[in-house]
């Protein structure tokens, strides 16, 4: 006998292999093997289903399957997208330059910082350029 | 003139023989599976659907010995009051699973209830000549001619005889839906797996159990190989009837490394659904499971059922639920699972050990045939006991730690001769597997079943919990 806990912010009926088998956030007994986990009722959650192989669990240490409400999931996805768009290289560069800054004299620091500053400038330059061209067109 | 008469007689005999055919199980109405039609768990109004206790009783094989032992258990359950005397244990039984000799008691109780118990005793248990009459029926000229047909055999004759003495031509359509869900088991010859006479099992072969006589199920269950021939069922399986197993079916295809039992269950179903198999040949249920526990054990440990559209949605006013005890446990519909295994197994004396002579061929064949069956039965009992104690320990541990999991307790009670003192065991071990036990022996079996069950501490605990 194996055990699984399906996490969801609210109490919903859990379907295992298409059949109603208990509720979310409780520890449910299941047969060992591969099972499809879904929630009954509205399909306002993500992922739409989760296929998992359940083996080697106990009631104290069940397999955890997590579903997210679609709204929350969309918000999380948006945050992830924004994080991807945001200029992430900055902290990386800083991390790489720190040892260099320690080894070399303080005078060289500004010299190295210049190209670092240029990079984001280059990326944003295109956008800025596009904006300025658009602005020029608008002016015309 | 005489030659002409003999010619006419021979010709008519041949014609009769050619006409003889086993009663063909019909296809489903319109050859379409209806998940709500027929004798299936979903259609039953068993007590577990009203209270929180699931009681499963299994009756083993063993001829009249097994039937009488099962009868004694039913009587003791009837005489055990619960809920302050307003009900009894027999009324609380949800499922009966049976094999071979035990199937006579199971089927008769399912059809005629507690009021039919005296009739079962009078017409079957207390009839020491049943076996003789069955054998003599083959000598009847009419039957002898019919037996010449390749499509009519001794098992069909046995089914007719059981119908005549016990079941009055009742089909599964007459099985009451408020009685225990009765699983009469045979063994599918090719697959070597148990085959249960329920509509859930008949859906994959697209056949209608409602029109099948109960006596044929009982005859199948007791079709001891060689003595009785296999019983044949026609399969109408194919995509046209629209049977589709649940989502577990495709997922279980990946389970060979993690759960080979589930993988095999899936493959057995695939074989049943095959349109290439036009007939199923069924033999004694004891060949696959002589205790009758394998079907219930599957339901206790698995959510996989043969029921089509098994969503078991509690919001549905008429939910379709296949028979899965595990499903009921996880949905917190039941808090107690009780299995009473009535095991009529006897132990033969170790006669071979007393002689240096090489054992004769027939006893060797009998031992070789019987030993795997006995070992498998022993394993089934041991497996159930181990499983239950593990699950109880798991639940207790989870409850102590405050884990939100179904609080369910499992009880296993075995009614078997091995709990008796050795001198008493010997009396029952001498009783053979046949349909020719004397009335005294039948009375002893009924009495000992009541004694063993009544003395069981586990049974006392269950009764106390159900007050």
Q: Is the predicted pLDDT of residue A113 greater than 50, yes or no?
A: no
B104-121 pLDDT, tens digit each: 999 999 999 999 999 999
Q: How many CB atoms lie within 10 A of CB B113?
A: 14
Please state, in angstroms and rounded to a whole number, the distance separating the CA atoms of residues A24 and A12: 5
Please state, in angstroms and rounded to a whole number, the distance separating the CA atoms of residues B458 and B414: 10
Asked if the Cβ–Cβ distance from A28 to B406 is below 8 Å, we say yes
Length of chain A: 140
Residue B342's DSSP bridge partners are B59, B415
- Tokens 């170790």 map to which residue? B350
pLDDT for B9 equals 62
Q: Which among A13, A19, A25 has the least Cβ separation from residue B246?
A: A19
Q: Which of A75-84, B238-247, B449-458 has the lowest mean pLDDT?
A: A75-84
Q: How many CB atoms lie within 10 A of CB B416?
A: 20
Q: Is the predicted pLDDT of residue B10 greater than 70, yes or no?
A: no
Percent of chain B with pLDDT over 90: 69
Where do the domains of chain A lie, and which CATH numbers do they carry?
2-84 (2.60.40)
Question: Which residues on B lie below 8 Å from A19 (Cβ)?
Answer: 246, 303, 305, 310-312, 321-322, 324, 327
Mean pLDDT of B231-253: 94
- Tokens 């697209």 map to which residue? B206
What per-residue string of b and e applies to B388-414 under the rule 16 or more CB within 10 Å gives b? beebeebbeebeeeebebbebbbbbbb
Closest chain B residue to the Cα of A58, Cα to Cα: B394
Q: Which of A76-90, B222-236, B305-319, B388-402 has the lowest mean pLDDT?
A: A76-90
Q: Which residue has the higher pLDDT, B245 or B359?
A: B245
pLDDT for A55 equals 96
Please state, in angstroms and rounded to a whole number, the distance separating the CA atoms of residues B167 and B100: 16
Question: Which residues on A lie below 8 Å from B394 (Cβ)?
Answer: 1, 58-59
Q: Is the predicted pLDDT of residue B152 greater than 90, yes or no?
A: no
- List the 74-133 stretch of A: residues with Cβ below 8 A of B: none
Mean pLDDT of B191-203: 94
Cβ of residue A66 closer than 8 Å to a chain B Cβ: no
Residue/partner pairs of B31-35 with CB below 8 Å, 24 or more apart? B31/B206, B31/B236, B31/B240, B31/B241, B32/B241, B32/B242, B33/B203, B33/B206, B33/B241, B33/B242, B33/B243, B33/B308, B35/B203, B35/B307, B35/B308, B35/B309, B35/B310, B35/B320
Closest chain B residue to the Cα of A27, Cα to Cα: B405
Handedness of CA B110, B115, B120, B121 (dihedral sign): positive
Question: Which residues on B lie below 8 Å from A51 (Cβ)?
Answer: 251
Question: Which residues on A lie below 8 Å from B255 (Cβ)?
Answer: 32-34, 53
Cβ of residue A33 closer than 8 Å to a chain B Cβ: yes
Please state, in angstroms and rounded to a whole number, the distance separating the CA atoms of residues B182 and B38: 13
pLDDT for A61 equals 92
pLDDT for A95 equals 43
Q: What is the DSSP string of A32-74?
A: SEEEEEEESS---EESS-EEEEE-S--SSS-EEEE-EEHHHHH
* Structure token pair of residue B42: 């979903």
Please state, in angstroms and rounded to a whole number, the distance separating the CA atoms of residues B145 and B59: 35
Asked if the Cβ–Cβ distance from B395 to A15 is below 8 Å, we say no
CB B415 within 8 A of CB B73: yes
ipTM: 0.87
* Structure token pair of residue B79: 């005489």
Q: Which among B247, B254, B403 has the least Cβ separation from residue A18?
A: B247
Asked if the Cβ–Cβ distance from A22 to B331 is below 8 Å, we say yes
Q: Is the predicted pLDDT of residue B327 greater than 90, yes or no?
A: yes
Length of chain B: 467
For chain B, what is the mean pLDDT? 91
> Exposed, middle or buried by CB within 10 Å (0-12, 13-18, 19+), for A17?
buried
Give B345's DSSP letter.
-
Q: How many CB atoms lie within 10 A of CB B349?
A: 10
CB B82 within 8 A of CB B53: no
Task: Grade residue A112 by pLDDT with cuts at 50, 70 and 90.
Answer: very low
Determine phi and psi for A16, rounding to 5 degrees.
-115, 120
Q: Is the predicted pLDDT of residue B216 greater than 80, yes or no?
A: yes
């Amino acid at each position: 006998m194996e055990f699984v806990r399906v996490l969801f912010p609210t109490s919903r009926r859990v379907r295992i292999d298409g059949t109603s088998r208990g509720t979310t956030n409780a520890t449910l007994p299941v047969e060992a093997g591969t099972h499809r986990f879904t929630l009954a009722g509205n399909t306002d959650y993500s992922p739409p289903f989760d296929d998992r192989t359940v083996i080697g669990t106990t009631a104290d240490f069940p397999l955890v399957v997590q579903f997210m409400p679609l709204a929350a999931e969309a918000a999380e996805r948006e945050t992830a997208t924004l994080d991807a768009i945001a200029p992430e290289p900055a902290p990386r560069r800083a991390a790489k330059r720190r040892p260099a800054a320690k080894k070399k004299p303080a005078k060289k620091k500004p010299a190295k910082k210049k190209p670092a500053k240029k990079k984001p400038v280059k990326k944003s330059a295109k956008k800025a350029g596009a904006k300025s061209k658009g602005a020029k067109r608008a002016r015309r | 003139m005489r030659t002409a008469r003999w010619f006419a007689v021979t010709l008519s005999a041949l014609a009769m023989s050619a006409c003889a055919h086993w009663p063909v199980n019909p296809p489903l109405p319109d050859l379409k599976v209806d998940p709500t039609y027929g004798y299936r768990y979903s259609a039953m109004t068993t007590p577990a659907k009203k209270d929180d206790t699931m009681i499963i009783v299994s009756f083993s094989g063993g001829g009249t010995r097994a039937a009488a032992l099962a009868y004694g258990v039913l009587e003791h359950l009837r005489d055990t009051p619960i809920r302050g005397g307003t009900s009894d244990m027999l009324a609380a039984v949800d499922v009966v699973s049976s094999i071979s000799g035990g199937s006579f008691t199971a089927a008769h109780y399912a059809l005629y209830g507690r009021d039919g118990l005296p009739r079962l005793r009078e017409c079957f248990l207390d009839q020491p000549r049943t076996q003789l009459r069955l054998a003599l029926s083959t000598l009847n000229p009419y039957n002898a001619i019919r037996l010449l047909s390749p499509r009519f055999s001794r098992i069909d004759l046995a089914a007719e005889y059981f119908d005549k003495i016990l079941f009055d031509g009742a089909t599964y359509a007459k099985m009451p839906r408020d009685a225990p869900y009765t699983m009469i088991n045979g063994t599918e010859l090719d697959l070597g797996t148990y085959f249960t006479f329920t509509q859930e099992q008949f859906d994959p072969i697209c056949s209608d159990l409602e029109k099948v006589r109960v006596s044929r199920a009982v005859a199948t269950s007791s079709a001891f190989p060689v003595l009785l021939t296999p019983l044949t069922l026609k399969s109408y399986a194919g995509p046209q009837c629209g049977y589709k197993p649940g989502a577990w079916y495709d997922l279980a295809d990946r389970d060979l490394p993690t759960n080979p039992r589930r993988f095999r269950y899936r493959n057995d179903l695939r074989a049943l659904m095959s349109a290439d198999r036009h007939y199923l040949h069924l033999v004694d249920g004891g060949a696959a499971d002589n205790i009758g526990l394998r079907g219930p054990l599957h339901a206790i440990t698995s959510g996989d059922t043969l029921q089509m559209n098994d969503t078991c949605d509690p919001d549905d006013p008429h939910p379709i639920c296949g028979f899965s005890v595990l499903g009921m446990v996880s949905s917190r519909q039941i808090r107690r699972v009780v299995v009473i295994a009535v095991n009529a197994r006897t132990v033969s004396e170790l006669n071979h050990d007393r002689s240096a002579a090489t054992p004769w061929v027939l006893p060797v064949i009998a031992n070789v045939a019987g030993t795997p069956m006995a070992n498998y039965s022993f394993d089934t009992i041991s497996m159930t006991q181990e499983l239950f104690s593990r699950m109880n320990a798991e639940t207790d541990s989870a409850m102590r730690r405050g884990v939100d999991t179904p609080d369910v307790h499992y009880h296993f009670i075995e009614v078997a001769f091995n709990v008796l003192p050795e001198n008493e065991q010997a009396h029952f071990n001498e009783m053979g597997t046949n349909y020719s036990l004397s009335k005294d022996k039948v009375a002893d079996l009924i009495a000992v079943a009541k004694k063993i069950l009544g003395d069981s501490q586990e049974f006392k605990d269950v009764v106390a919990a159900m007050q």
